[in-house]
Amino acid sequence: MAKKKKSKQARTEFRKHHQGRVRKSDLTRDFNLGDQERLADAVKNERVSGKGDLTRRRTVADAKASSGADPNTAVGRTASPLVPGRVTCVYGLNSIVLTDDGQRVECTIRQILKSLSIEQRSAVVAGDRVQIRIEDEHSGTIEHVEPRRGVISRTSRGQQHILVANVDYLLIVTSAAEPDLKPALIDRYLLTAQQCSLRPIVVINKIDLVDPASYQQVAAVYATMGIRVLMTSAESGLNIEYLRALLHGKQTALSGQSGVGKSSLLNAVQPGLGLAVATVSRDNQKGRHTTTASRLFPIDGGGAVFDTPGIRQFQLWDITAEEVAGLMPDLRPYVSQCRYPNCLHLSENECAVKDAVADGRIDARRYDSYCHLLEDDLLLAKK
Ligand SMILES: Nc1nc2c(ncn2[C@@H]2O[C@H](COP(=O)(O)OP(=O)(O)OP(=O)(O)O)[C@@H](O)[C@H]2O)c(=O)[nH]1
Ligand SMILES: [Zn+2]
């Protein structure tokens, strides 16, 4: 409740701030809502109107009607046309944009978007579809951000911080050996996928190092929940073709512990990437994980894989103990049948989840994972 109040207040502050800006810069449209689409419209209008020049103050529709030209291409002054692309990486107020025709352009963010980024922290994020104006060979300005879908975000100090936008899949890479498979870790990644409404793909890599039969049961439990599980070997090429087909045309966020073979898999899926494999020392590895730069690897024929350091090793950012069972497709059907509405399915009596574990309707290992997560992390953190 307090949170809601706070965010309403923050929105009001934000609105006031931007209304001020709008007047200052002579924008012609109402700027009340301050959401991204309206903001982008306002940016267009600002461009069309020009600062302080009343004779050029026109709406986008006017400009279209009278000139027949795309108002994005600046009325009254010559400017290069807008070019569509995708943000691969954001650092401070600068971004790297990969245009649809394959140019890599270092972009600043248009002034009005910048002020949004101070208020909401995420004016432009990795994965955003944008329109940019190229100024010279390798630099430009982001003029417009398309509405987002499929975002991976976390909340810090009451504000949503988006790590990557426009994602279809969460690729959860694990290894059968070196390091050993940790199903409990897969379960954690799955919670985040569920929470962010991303389709997960679980990859068990390095399957060449073990007897695949030893992982059939783990894989089958996920498969019954409708989760795709793939046993791969970057070494032998097993299932690489299949993985490539899955990723084709999709935006995929990469996750998984260090050393499981993420770079090796990407190199195999997309020959020519030439990603460094396991050459980093322990010290360097630490450094790598603290970097905030994210990378995007385009897939031939469409689609891309995002490697965003904050996503590689998820923390359970915004998940509360009470939410976990509802985010697990195998536990969820039983939750409403427990005697106590606030049942955490740990030591309570008349718990439908525990009954389902006892007679095998819920996999015991998954339930174990659930208990560890709550007891070791979420409830402990509360104490
Ligand atoms: N046997 C076997 N080894 C593999 C396979 N895939 C990767 N490896 C080896 O595992 C080690 C780690 O591979 P990477 O691709 O660097 O792993 P990563 O997940 O990208 O590691 P970080 O960059 O630290 O996150 C390397 O020595 C690879 O050669 C595989 O399918 N089979
Ligand atoms: Zn219960």
> Atom 26 (ligand 1): residue with closest C-alpha?
278
ipTM of the complex: 0.98
Tell me which architecture the domain covering 2-147 has in CATH.
Beta Barrel (2.40)
Nearest CA to ligand 1 atom 24: 258
- pLDDT band of residue 122 (cuts 50, 70, 90) is low
Structure confidence at residue 132 (pLDDT)? 96
Does 345 count as an annotated binding residue?
yes
Ligand 1 pocket, mutate which of 236, 277, 283 (most atoms under 8 A from CB)? 277
**Ligand 1 pocket: which of 203, 206, 211, 264 to mutate (most atoms <8 Å of CB)?**
264
State pLDDT tens for residues 287-337: 344 344 677 888 888 889 988 776 665 665 678 899 999 999 999 999 999
Percentage of the chain with pLDDT > 70? 67
pLDDT tens-digit profile of 223-268? 999 999 999 999 999 999 999 999 999 999 999 988 999 999 999 9
The whole-model pTM stands at: 0.75
Which of 205-209, 312-316, 360-364 is the least confident region?
Answer: 312-316
Report pLDDT for 314.
61
Q: Which atom of ligand 1 lies at the shortest distance from residue 267's CA?
A: 15
How does pLDDT run across 69-93, given as a tens digit for each residue? 443 444 444 678 999 999 988 887 7
Q: Which residues surround ligand 2, an ion (CB under 5 A)?
A: 338, 343, 345, 351, 353
| 54 vs 13: CA distance, rounded Å | 28
Q: In the chain, what are the domain boundaries? A: 2-147, 164-312, 321-382
Looking at the CA of residue 232, tell me the nearest atom of ligand 1: 31
Question: 164-312: which CATH topology?
Answer: Rossmann fold (3.40.50)
Which range is least confidently modeled, 151-160, 273-282, 309-318, 362-371?
273-282
Per-residue model confidence (pLDDT) at position 166: 93
Determine if ligand 1 sits within 6 Å of the CB of residue 233. yes
Phi-psi region of 309 (alpha: psi -120 to 50; beta: other; left: phi over 0): alpha
Statement: residue 59 has pLDDT above 50: no
Q: What is the Cα–Cα distance from 185 to 182, expressed in whole angstroms?
A: 5
CATH fold label, 321-382: Ribonucleotide Reductase Protein R1; domain 1 (1.10.40)
